[in-house]
């Protein structure tokens, strides 16, 4: 079986990473790539690292060019995928790497994004635990419309959910500060994303509860049973191309000790192929996750501060985007969940 | 008036930065520099950027070589300055860039450092506000023994204290996650400080309430009147040589609004030459502070999370160490507080 | 005496660095700053590191706003300064940080830049040695129109000229490969200048003899007496905000030995305050020059390859641009040449 | 068929990269990993990015622990592999990533390395063209002792050899300046390899004809028929963990034009799976090669300088070391040459 794939928005970083991962997937063949301003160019001109696609050319992003494939991946700016998706047949697997179909609350959509609301699709974070103990992966089996999570959301949700569901931390009054690489912002011409600005600098943005990933985190936490969740969320751009290092803290539930705390995450991820809890006293670096579809988690109990500290490292373009898309695709189509996905990072 | 200066530990990063700043100070002349393993070498061999000191040679760190100067700066590993300082005359101004004389609590010293406790000196953070509204600078006038604060401590204390004293945030259950450059760890041969390890990576350390700067932060906050302060503190090494970007959060006091919140910091620092509160909606980057003796502060009120977010940027080697030393020195000796200190950063 | 300064193009990196240096200059006061797209904004919004200019506002770049100052610095894209300069009075000192008035050959201008040729101004590289042994600084005394050299040109010219004039290397068939930071390309929104592209990467550009700095290098070398000079010149963008590390090679003249080679540069720069030849076996890093108006030079004789290797490090924004402007300004106005210029770098 | 592999020196960067590549190779299983100071530790403690090896433990590097495998990879400091290799059976495939068995000239060994000379092994650069038009890969078929080339050597040799053999450039008086990441120097505790030193800096080393890779380059060029080869070779450390960007120049042979020049490289590498010549006007970045076993080449003819400029980008740990080892291993054992080797890089 070889499944045919089209990628819309293939000239960006998310699209490029989907291409990189799919090149190593035994059941997939990317046949069509589209872009906006780069249409007509060889793909390799915009992604010179993707030698295996030396023969592909970028085409216009239209429903026609995307038609006739088993799988369509949308790697477009938010607001752009709703209309395109509506034109694609129901039996085509469509994965949206953008934000258009992540939020189940139209009110949250309107507050954080605005514009037409297109409804929520099956949410592509397989490891997410629901209050009843089931995993989100069950919702992905057989799905034909998948919303790939936001990269920061994946990091923070994987960090918070096991503890909340196990009752060892509170969902109320959590905090997350993230060191993030600029590739998460896309191949966008903005002054603050210039190398001269970011080299040698750490730069916060969307400070004070305004980042669009906040409602998505709270939505995930709510699925784990938290009614009163809240989070102070601050991303900080740092000079590394890729990677998210999320420092998440949460109030300890009364009476929790170190062993009880740790057990919540260890148990939750014991059978997960892509999420790993490090031994006590060890904490992950983003370098350990770069290029891999893994999320690495370190845990500590701060008795003085009465908070748990959960540090999560992942590659925003892999486990945070393109790897999540491929993992969800595997589940949707009944393929082995880990098929074609790298578990080893590229370090140093 | 020219005052004669000796610097012990001049081959490290803190010592080098003291030298850089003192070269621009009109009343100081560094006559003696000492080191451990590099003794006997020209200073410029270990600090090739310090051309104005091309004639100085590193000598052994002994009480004899340090004797006979008006000012002695100790830039030594913690545990080393207590003994040296005891041998220096009382009327010599001694500034300790290490940790030996920062903590007023012997119990805190024993818990976080261990070894012999040498007592606390006048604390070199002039902008620190006491509960009675006085500033720490008053304690520095005429001092002859000064403990230069820890770099992370300065960032977090400057961020927390105005709000706590004004009663707009709670001192209990604060959090701080810091993106920090490796120069704060000194010129130390450790695998995790290698360029190959840190380039492209964010790496947390001392996670879970064990960092030595925690008791010092709480000590400062207590001076502002907080009895029940606590902090979850997590530093993350990121690939920039210098700089601290501290994301500090604190619970809002009941009924505080944006204007009331902002007023606490604006009022506290209105007359400070080296601490600046940015306008609403703007947040600092470390690049804006590199090379300067400034701390830049951005503020937001997150109504959903019911937390204030205080972002503080400074250069760990300047306002975080060497600049604080020179600023304290100016105060101790009755010179203008800002003398010789840069207010403009080096960017990009 | 306080001289009044206007800076056109003050929102860019070169303009920002001129501002930084002038803040430390005792005889200058920047009163007017202009920009194109940022006109109307506070200067500190675009240069948040320049706290000493918190009261300045960017105005439109017109001859009117620039009028009435003793000194006008043009930090504009090439092609823009010719027309502006023509409208300024002859007795105003005008320093052009752009390329418009560097080349003495209209043919070279047409080949490498194109468009209207505006003639050459006094060339702002004081250390440049002419064939008759005089220095370029003599040409700057009393000048009212100064062309600030290209940053790469300064690095390569300082490296080549002493050896060529002394006859120890050949001017024919030289090579230069430069590791350069992206700030030299300005605050320009180009995909290849994005942090995501450059972090973790080295990227050559203008390969094969097409870089605009080539004719300017050959012009400088010709002044030193070389009739047949040629250079293979390749710049490579690397992930550091500032700095140029030029590796220059030249054929050895017959019979030259190590001592004879070294003497050429040592003698040439013995009295120069801003150019330093390192001892045998030592080579400069760009970190040693960042923030300073210095050029550091290391030399080796490769007997097997029969080439001299001259490594030059400088800060493209200081000795490569803004420092050269201030140094030239000092000479033009009869001030001490080193006034207000930093000799120590900011490292690490 | 599954072949058993032991890796000596597995705790270093080269060893880690061999492990990463072998994890994706369908015919190999790494069963033994050894180290010096880290013996006894879980492998994943020193390589936290290598999740697929979570069960392996580092053992002592002895002939006994290495015995009983089909393949032994030595990733040891130079001088260490000769003795170990002598104790391994002749029919075991031994690949030495160090320098001990690269040079065919004992005189060159003594001059550049010194100590006992162990003779040369089959040289693991399959694409190398000999004067008779054969490729080095033929020498690797059936080999049981393979010397993996130096990383810089691979970059420069791939750049020079086609032009020299085709007669379009001269082998005499070539130059190479390389921007290189610090991982090529290994996981070594040296001050100049600290992150604080290298972040924001470019740092040359081994300047002036003393780098140990020089005789190896000349040896390769001699195989292509050059009798009088010489090279001025300068490596410059830049702040990226991996990658080599080699700017190589060579005198043009008389009468060569652009088409003739380009044809030499295009023809030489037309059928090579891992070496690619970019179209005219395009030049490679190291980011395009990171993580992949590819070398990317850009070419220009500088008519003014009468030199060809050949820019080569590769990942020092992949095509420069571990990928070359696996590619050679495939050839030695009769496997498809490209088996298990990535052709796509990891960018941005």
Q: Using an 8 Å CB-CB cutoff, list chain D residues near C202.
A: 179, 238, 240, 243, 245, 285-286, 313
Residue B1 has a pLDDT of 72
Structural domain of B96: 3-149+319-333
**Stated length of chain C:** 348
Residues 6 or more apart whose CB falls under 8 angstroms from that of D45 comprise: A282, D38
**Chain B interface test: which of A219, A236, A314, A348 (most B C-beta within 10 Å):** A236
The dihedral region occupied by D299, where left means phi > 0, alpha psi between -120 and 50, and beta the remainder, is beta
Binary contact (A183, C196; C-beta < 8 A)? yes
Per-residue pLDDT band at D1 (split at 50, 70, 90) = confident
Same domain, D112 and D223: no
Per-residue pLDDT band at D158 (split at 50, 70, 90) = very high
B129 - beta bridge partners? B135
D344 found inside a domain? no
**B287 vs A82, which has greater pLDDT?**
B287
**Whole-number Cα distances in Å, A80 to A62, A86, A323:** 11, 11, 21
Q: Percent of chain D scored above 90 by pLDDT?
A: 97
Same domain, C125 and C227: no
The DSSP secondary-structure symbol of B288 reads G
Chain C residue at shortest CA distance from D195: C348
D197 part of contact set with chain B, CB < 8 Å: yes
d(CA C127, CA A161): 65
**Stated length of chain D:** 348
Beta strands C244-251 and C174-180, pairing class = antiparallel
Same domain, B216 and B260: yes
CATH number at residue C189: 3.30.360.10
Peptide bond into C224 cis (omega under 30): no
Same domain, D201 and D94: no
Which phi and psi (to 5°) does residue C96 adopt? Answer: -105, 110
Residue C240 token pair:
């550091």
d(CA A347, CA D50): 9
- Each residue's pLDDT expressed in tens, for chain C with a length of 348 residues: 799 999 999 999 999 999 999 999 999 999 999 999 899 999 999 999 999 999 999 999 999 999 999 999 999 988 889 889 989 999 999 999 999 999 999 999 999 999 999 999 999 999 999 999 999 999 999 999 999 999 999 999 999 999 999 999 999 999 999 999 999 999 999 999 999 999 999 999 999 999 999 999 999 999 999 989 999 999 999 999 999 999 999 999 999 999 999 999 999 999 999 999 999 999 999 999 999 999 999 999 999 999 999 999 999 999 999 999 999 999 999 999 999 999 999 999
Same domain, B269 and B132: no
Same domain, A140 and A126: yes
Residues 53 to 92 of C: which have CB under 8 A from any D CB?
A: none
Same domain, A104 and A204: no
| Contact (CB, 8 A) for C39 and C343 | no
What is the side-by-side order of every strand in the sheet holding B145-147? B58-60, B28-35, B3-8, B71-74, B93-96, B145-147, B122-123
Residue A316 has a pLDDT of 98
Same domain, A105 and A158: no
CATH number at residue B62: 3.40.50.720
pLDDT > 90? residue A16: yes
- CB-nearest to C288 from B48, B290, B292 is B48
Q: Which residue out of C50, C146, C148, C151 is catalytically annotated? A: C151
Report the 10 Å Cβ neighbour count for B108: 18
Q: Using an 8 Å CB-CB cutoff, list chain D residues near B195.
A: 182, 193-195, 197-199, 239, 241
One-character DSSP codes across B101-122: TT-S-HHHHHHHT-S------E
| Contact (CB, 8 A) for C128 and C327 | no
D197 found inside a domain? yes
D290 part of contact set with chain A, CB < 8 Å: yes
Residue B227 has a pLDDT of 86
Compute the nearest-CA separation of A237 from chain D (Å): 15
A346 found inside a domain? no
Instruction: Please confirm, yes or no, whether C97 is among the known catalytic residues.
Output: no
Interface A-D: count of C-beta contacts within 8 A: 86
Same domain, B173 and B145: no
Binary contact (B199, D196; C-beta < 8 A)? no
Q: Using an 8 Å CB-CB cutoff, list chain A residues near D289.
A: 49
Which phi and psi (to 5°) does residue B341 adopt? Answer: -105, 130
B339 found inside a domain? no
Residue D54 token pair:
């979570």
pLDDT in tens, C251-294: 999 999 999 999 999 999 999 999 999 999 999 999 999 999 99
Q: What is the ipTM of this complex?
A: 0.97
d(CA B136, CA B331): 11
* DSSP three-state, residue A213: coil
Least confident of A35-44, A227-236, C15-24, D74-83: D74-83
C343 found inside a domain? no
B10 part of contact set with chain C, CB < 8 Å: no
Compute the nearest-CA separation of D203 from chain A (Å): 17
D198 part of contact set with chain B, CB < 8 Å: yes
**Chain A interface test: which of B107, B111, B175, B290 (most A C-beta within 10 Å):** B175
d(CA D340, CA D343): 10
B71 found inside a domain? yes
Residues 6 or more apart whose CB falls under 8 angstroms from that of C86 comprise: none
Binary contact (A285, D347; C-beta < 8 A)? no
D250 part of contact set with chain C, CB < 8 Å: no
Neighbours of chain C (3+ CB pairs under 8 A): A, B, D
Binary contact (B302, A208; C-beta < 8 A)? yes
Q: Which residue out of A151, A156, A237, A312 is catalytically annotated? A: A151
- CB-nearest to B183 from D196, D239, D241 is D196
Chain C residue at shortest CA distance from A196: C241
D98 found inside a domain? yes
D129 - beta bridge partners? D135
What is the four-CA torsion angle of C6, C8, C9, C14, rounded to 10 degrees? -60
Residue A298 has a pLDDT of 98
A131 part of contact set with chain B, CB < 8 Å: no
Same domain, A299 and A209: yes
A65 found inside a domain? yes
| Contact (CB, 8 A) for B74 and B9 | yes
Residues 163 to 192 of B: which have CB under 8 A from any A CB?
A: 173, 175, 177, 179
| Contact (CB, 8 A) for B262 and B280 | yes
Same domain, C242 and C123: no
Q: How many domains does chain C have?
A: 2
- CB-nearest to B208 from A201, A204, A309 is A309
Q: What is the mean pLDDT of each run of 10 residues along chain B (348 residues)?
A: 95 98 98 95 97 97 95 93 92 97 97 95 98 97 98 98 98 98 97 98 97 98 94 98 98 97 98 98 98 98 98 98 98 98 98
**Whole-number Cα distances in Å, A248 to A114, A243, B249, D74:** 28, 16, 12, 41
D231 - beta bridge partners? D174
Chain B residue at shortest CA distance from D317: B196
Report the 10 Å Cβ neighbour count for B52: 17
Residue D39 has a pLDDT of 93
Same domain, C144 and C284: no
What is the side-by-side order of every strand in the sheet holding C93-96? C58-60, C28-35, C3-8, C71-74, C93-96, C145-147, C122-123
């Amino acid at each position: 079986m070889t499944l045919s794939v089209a990628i819309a928005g293939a000239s960006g970083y998310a699209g490029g990473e989907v291409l990189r991962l799919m090149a190593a997937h035994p059941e997939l063949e990317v046949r069509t790539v589209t872009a906006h301003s780069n249409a007509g160019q060889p793909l390799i001109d915009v992604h010179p690292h993707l030698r295996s696609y030396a023969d592909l050319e970028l085409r216009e992003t239209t429903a026609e060019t995307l038609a006739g494939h088993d799988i369509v991946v949308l790697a477009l700016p938010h607001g752009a995928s709703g209309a395109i998706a509506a034109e694609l047949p129901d039996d085509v697997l469509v994965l949206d790497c953008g934000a258009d179909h992540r939020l189940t609350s139209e009110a949250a959509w309107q507050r954080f994004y605005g514009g037409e609301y297109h409804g929520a699709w099956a949410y592509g974070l397989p490891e997410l635990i629901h209050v009843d103990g089931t995993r989100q992966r069950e919702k992905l089996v057989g799905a034909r419309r998948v919303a790939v999570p936001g990269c920061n959301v994946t990091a923070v949700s994987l960090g918070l959910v096991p503890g909340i569901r196990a009752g060892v931390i509170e969902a109320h009054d959590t905090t997350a500060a993230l060191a993030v690489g600029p590739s998460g912002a896309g191949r966008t011409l903005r002054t603050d994303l210039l190398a001269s600005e970011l080299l040698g600098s750490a730069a916060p943005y969307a400070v004070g509860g305004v980042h669009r990933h906040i409602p998505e985190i709270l939505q995930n936490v709510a699925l784990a049973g938290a009614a009163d969740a809240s989070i102070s969320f601050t991303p900080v751009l740092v000079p590394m191309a890729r990677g998210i290092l999320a420092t998440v803290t949460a109030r300890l539930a009364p009476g929790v000790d170190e062993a009880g705390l740790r057990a919540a995450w260890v148990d939750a991820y014991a059978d997960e192929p892509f999420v790993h809890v490090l031994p006590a006293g060890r904490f992950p670096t983003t370098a350990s996750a770069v290029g891999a579809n893994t999320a690495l988690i370190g845990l500590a109990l701060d008795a003085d501060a009465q908070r748990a500290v959960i540090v999560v490292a992942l590659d925003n373009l892999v486990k945070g985007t393109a790897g999540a898309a491929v993992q969800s695709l595997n589940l949707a189509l009944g393929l082995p969940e880990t098929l074609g996905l790298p578990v080893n990072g590229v370090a140093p």
